[in-house]
Structure 1
Amino acid sequence: MKRFKIVYIVLLTMFAASCDSYLDETPDNRAEVDSQTKIRKLLVSAYPAGGYTLVTEISSDNVDDMGTSNPNTSRFYEQLANWEDVTEVENDDPKQIWESSYNAIAHSNEALAAIESLGEENLKPEKGEALITRAYNHFVLVNVFCNHYNKSTSSTDLGIPYMEKSETTLNPKYERGTVADVYKKINADIEAALPLISDDMYEISAYHFTKKAAYAFAARFNLYYENWAKAKEYASVVVTEDPLTVLRDWAAIGALPRQPDPVTQAYINDAANLLALTDGSIAGVYFGAYYHGSRFNHSKKIADEQTLLAPLPWGATARADFNFGPFVYAGTNLDKTLFYKIPYLFEYTDPVAGIGYSRSVTIPFTTDESLLVRAEAEVMLGEDDAALADLNAWSKNFFKGKEATLDQVNTFYDAMEYSSEVAPNQKKKLNPNFAVATGTQENMIHYVLQCRRILTLHEGLRWFDIKRYGIEVPRFQIQADGTVTVLDVLKANDLRKAIQIPQDVVSAGLTANPR
């Protein structure tokens, strides 16, 4: 659809000190949104066109530095892996996250303004979608660019500007507010949206916030907001009382030819997906069987010690235990252990010349992940039996019938030392700003976090668990001769866990994250 001329959606216009070419346009030279059809078309653009996957995944403990002899990197990837403020320009850089999220928010706000003008009585589903997309995009921004929410410091931690209306002036000035303020406003938008959303308004529901997608988002938000009971309530709408009936068919994917294209296509078309987003990302190449990005990637060492092939409470883990097993590449300068789910797509702008854009599809919400949200909430509520039942439902479906008892979980994690720089493993020391009791509760949290780390590998969600639980991240460098060194350690409350906001925005007057 033709883009609307909204002041703050044009390349950082919302924060730019000047924009000479744009000043030639009348400030309110916008397409008129005066019908239900136009509102629905407008809301197609209320979803971000740029995701956080690469930024947060490379920043996490899911990648190793495969050494200076590996040439398959770039300055951008090095900055992410070493937790430096990003200065390089790439399709997947933080600036793209910032711009695409605020661009989407602008469309949500235009839709809301049109709905208010036309009258809300017959436009409730459209209002619901506008509110939930506005909430989701702010949720992405606050969790990428700010300290994670907690009840101790969020009333003073820097937030991000929460846009609640379309901008009508040139060169507006904004304040960042606080993380607590942003979360409060996200919560208000979610609660207002949930009763309004109707699946009947969507022609192709996969790319929109259906009711289940909205509840999956609400569940994750409330988990991050430390509202455990509400997180469980909302996740239960998604996964029901019989989660095995709605989880991904991992066995069907595992039965496909072991080639990236058929398995990634099956993944993005599975009924367990609750929302699909398309973006101009190179993630499908980065987490594919290509040399590109192989210096900073998910290595076999990480897979063996910490993730896919590490032991679990029910015993040792081998590739044969998976319904859909990992792909292991261990050649020279290509040490990647991959769990294919992100397709590599190419949009040709000139087929003759063979040039165009790398694109991909990401799945931000699934029934499997919502089940783990419910399990974590149940652990925090002290409902160990319910949490274990959910974890077993997930593990029986993901692996080939594997499940554990509470005694096995306790025995397994009690016997395991905390991960260290000398002997890394899956059991990271937890430093959250909320209480986690030693013993069963902590052990169950370790198990939930491990299941989520495996499930969401390559998706970037691990980064948010690192922030939520104050997990330290050593950056291991592995040289060609096998020598392992620790280049740096991201501490529990390290300021670098808040990705720096784009330099253009800082130059225009918005306060930078402290370092």
Structure 2
Amino acid sequence: MKYVSALALVTVALTGCDDYLDTMPDNRATLDTEDKIKAMLTSSYVENDYVLVAELSSDNTDNIGDNIPYTNRFYDQTYSWTDETESNNESLERFWSGAYIAIASANEALAAIETAAPSATIDECRGEALISRAYNHFMLACMFCQPWTQDAAGDLGLPYMEAPETELMPQYERGNLADFYKKIEADIEEGLKYLGDSHYTVPKYHFNVKAAYAFATRYYLYTEQWEKAINYANKCLGSQPKTMLRDWKSMASMTQSIDAISNEYISASSNANLLLLTAYSSMGVIWSNYYGTCNRYNHSQYLANNEDMSAQNIFGTGTTLWHTPKAYIGNTTRVIFWKYGNLFEFTDPVAQVGYRRAVYPAFTSDEALLNRAEAYIMLKRYDEAAADLTTWMQNFTKSTKTLTPDNIQEFYKPIGYCYDKDPKDDTDNGLRSTIKKHLNPAFAIDAEGSVQECMLQCMLQFRRLETMHAGIRWFDIKRYGIEIVRRTLNPAGQPETRTDFLGKDDLRRVHQIPQKVRDAGFEANPR
């Protein structure tokens, strides 16, 4: 097992760190008051997000056409699952270092809490620090490790940082994924004992209680602990889940401008938004009405028409959605949901330079509801799953249809699977899309066409729509072994050329450890 300095986890992934390495990492502010501890915890939320890389890696992205010049090497590498050599504010390198910096802040707060005078605020800060530490480690695993399975002890984990640095060059081993997840779970369970909302000024920008329940729901779903996923979803959603969901119908009656809709989408007053995070990010440009940046790799009209937004589904087509898809047709032909505004932080207002920023919901009650539906399906509690799917569908769309296990199976079973070539059609090039994809999870599910498989297809479709432009689809692709064809669309917007294929066992499904961290001796992911 290779070892690596913990400094490599953070500082080697940053530029200009030579001076830092010359000093002991103990020149810290003294955290000797509740206010200072609370201030430290504001740094325990990563500001370099995973969203763009995860979304561009997923099947929510097509190569709209090689004639489109709006790309760069970073986007080329991300879309093609190539190990990253380019860096920007949304690169894996920045996400890695940002997450470990956030973890370090949580650990500093926890160390100070141990010597602080007991109080209700100190207890709540302990809960926030533990949950934040767990979340940052969890998201690192989602990006840089295999998905959790019953065989996780045989997969590579990551260093789990449980204390502040007190040595110049401490050594850490990578360990296995099962042990790594056990530590995440221990932090979640311990953190929930203490977490509370009374000391927050704006709870939605911190791990408030409902956000922590939503995180626990996702964690237990991803680790196949279906009953616990349901339990925490119940705590998050309460007895009237519909009142917790985003009010898409009301948003449809608002002024239909991207600024108005995106401001409402990230509003702290929305019951649906459980945790809002800020990031150095271009997502407000890439998934908007702007041309440039990353228009070549985007959510295409073809994807919308055949796989998700506008495709024929059990509730109808795109015209049935309250949150209607927005098409930008021209040499880019993108179809998107308005979600993120183009925010800009000026570092020099005179020179008009600075950073693009974004605010995004890391957890929503809508996702928690669909997570619960998935857990019900896995436990074969189909009527309860159908009830949750109905609640989501009737809120997201204008449909008044009531879903049942029977009508879900009746609708989804006859639909062909994506990329399956029709032997009776000589013009079929094996690149065509439908709303169904073959599922190859490590956990057992019933045969294709069964009630369970059809309900999983429905749930995954709903979650794909719900989490569009949020990166979550990539994690479903990993968990369910969903395979992806990379193709280039022709000028008519149809799939023409196959350029790559991501199989269910392709090692590129796990993003590579950043180069600078590997250069410091950290064990790479297999390739």
Partner amino acid for 2:145?
Answer: C
Could you say which residue in structure 1 is the equivalent of 2:507? 495
The reply on whether 1:287 has 2:287 as its aligned counterpart is yes
Could you say which residue in structure 1 is the equivalent of 2:307? 306
SS in 2 for 1:195: helix
Contact residue 272 and residue 365 of structure 2 kept, 8 A: yes
Could you say which residue in structure 2 is the equivalent of 1:87? 85
Query: C-alpha deviations, 1:174-194, integer Å up to 9, x for none?
Result: 211111111110000000011
Matching residue within 339, 351, 354 for 1:353: 351
Could you say which residue in structure 2 is the equivalent of 1:29? 27
Contact residue 246 and residue 366 of structure 2 kept, 8 A: yes
Could you say which residue in structure 2 is the equivalent of 1:3? none
Q: Distance in 2 between matches of 1:489 and 1:388?
A: 33
Could you say which residue in structure 2 is the equivalent of 1:418? 417
Shift of the 369–18 alpha-carbon distance from structure 1 to 2, 3 Å rule, reads closer
Report deviation, 1:128.
0.3
Query: C-alpha deviations, 1:476-498, integer Å up to 9, x for none?
Result: 21132556111111001211011
Partner amino acid for 1:405?
Answer: T
Could you say which residue in structure 2 is the equivalent of 1:4? none
Could you say which residue in structure 1 is the equivalent of 2:162? 164
Partner amino acid for 1:464?
Answer: F
SS in 1 for 2:170: coil
Report deviation, 1:156.
1.5
Report deviation, 1:423.
2.8
SS in 1 for 2:193: coil
Q: Distance in 2 between matches of 1:53 and 1:17?
A: 23
Contact residue 16 and residue 171 of structure 1 kept, 8 A: no
Contact residue 108 and residue 164 of structure 2 kept, 8 A: yes
SS in 2 for 1:21: helix
Q: Distance in 1 between matches of 2:40 and 2:259?
A: 32
Shift of the 492–406 alpha-carbon distance from structure 1 to 2, 3 Å rule, reads same
Q: Distance in 1 between matches of 2:115 and 2:481?
A: 46
Query: C-alpha deviations, 1:433-473, integer Å up to 9, x for none?
Result: 10111211111111110000001000000000000000001
Could you say which residue in structure 1 is the equivalent of 2:460? 449
- Matches for 1:263-278 after TM superposition, within 5 Å: 263-269=261-267, 270-278=270-278
The reply on whether 1:261 has 2:259 as its aligned counterpart is yes
Query: C-alpha deviations, 1:136-182, integer Å up to 9, x for none?
Result: 00000001001111002x11211111100011111322211111111
Could you say which residue in structure 1 is the equivalent of 2:422? none
Could you say which residue in structure 2 is the equivalent of 1:506? 518
Could you say which residue in structure 2 is the equivalent of 1:324? 323
Moved more, 271-280 or 121-130: 121-130
Aligned residues: 505
- Matches for 1:453-468 after TM superposition, within 5 Å: 453-468=464-479
Shift of the 483–467 alpha-carbon distance from structure 1 to 2, 3 Å rule, reads closer
Query: C-alpha deviations, 1:98-128, integer Å up to 9, x for none?
Result: 0110010001000111111225565211110
Could you say which residue in structure 2 is the equivalent of 1:60? 58
Could you say which residue in structure 2 is the equivalent of 1:155? 153
Report deviation, 1:247.
0.7
Query: C-alpha deviations, 1:227-262, integer Å up to 9, x for none?
Result: 000000001111123211111111121112221111
- What is the TM-score with the length of structure 2 in the denominator? 0.93
Matching residue within 98, 123, 147 for 1:100: 98
SS in 2 for 1:200: coil
Report deviation, 1:20.
3.3
- Matches for 1:114-129 after TM superposition, within 5 Å: 114-118=112-116, 122=120, 123-129=122-128
Contact residue 9 and residue 102 of structure 1 kept, 8 A: no
Could you say which residue in structure 1 is the equivalent of 2:205? 207
The reply on whether 1:430 has 2:442 as its aligned counterpart is no
Could you say which residue in structure 2 is the equivalent of 1:136? 135
Partner amino acid for 1:40?
Answer: K
Query: C-alpha deviations, 1:83-104, integer Å up to 9, x for none?
Result: 1001111111001110110010
Q: Distance in 2 between matches of 1:14 and 1:225?
A: 31
- What is the TM-score with the length of structure 1 in the denominator? 0.95
| Structure 1 residues without counterparts, runs of 5 or longer | 1-6
Query: C-alpha deviations, 1:316-374, integer Å up to 9, x for none?
Result: 3132x111211111112x21101111221011122222211100001110110100011
Partner amino acid for 1:337?
Answer: V
Partner amino acid for 1:388?
Answer: A
Partner amino acid for 1:273?
Answer: N
Partner amino acid for 2:309?
Answer: L
SS in 2 for 1:194: helix
Partner amino acid for 2:283?
Answer: A
Contact residue 379 and residue 441 of structure 1 kept, 8 A: yes
Query: C-alpha deviations, 1:402-438, integer Å up to 9, x for none?
Result: 4333222101111012211343112111111101112
Q: Distance in 2 between matches of 1:427 and 1:70?
A: 29
Shift of the 42–17 alpha-carbon distance from structure 1 to 2, 3 Å rule, reads closer
Moved more, 184-193 or 30-39: 30-39
SS in 1 for 2:359: strand
| Structure 2 residues without counterparts, runs of 5 or longer | 420-429
- Displacement over 4 Å in runs of 4+: 7-11, 14-19, 119-122
Q: Distance in 2 between matches of 1:16 and 1:422?
A: 40
Q: Distance in 1 between matches of 2:525 and 2:118?
A: 39
Could you say which residue in structure 1 is the equivalent of 2:396? 398
Q: Distance in 1 between matches of 2:24 and 2:136?
A: 27
Shift of the 405–70 alpha-carbon distance from structure 1 to 2, 3 Å rule, reads same
Q: Distance in 2 between matches of 1:511 and 1:18?
A: 23
Partner amino acid for 2:458?
Answer: Y
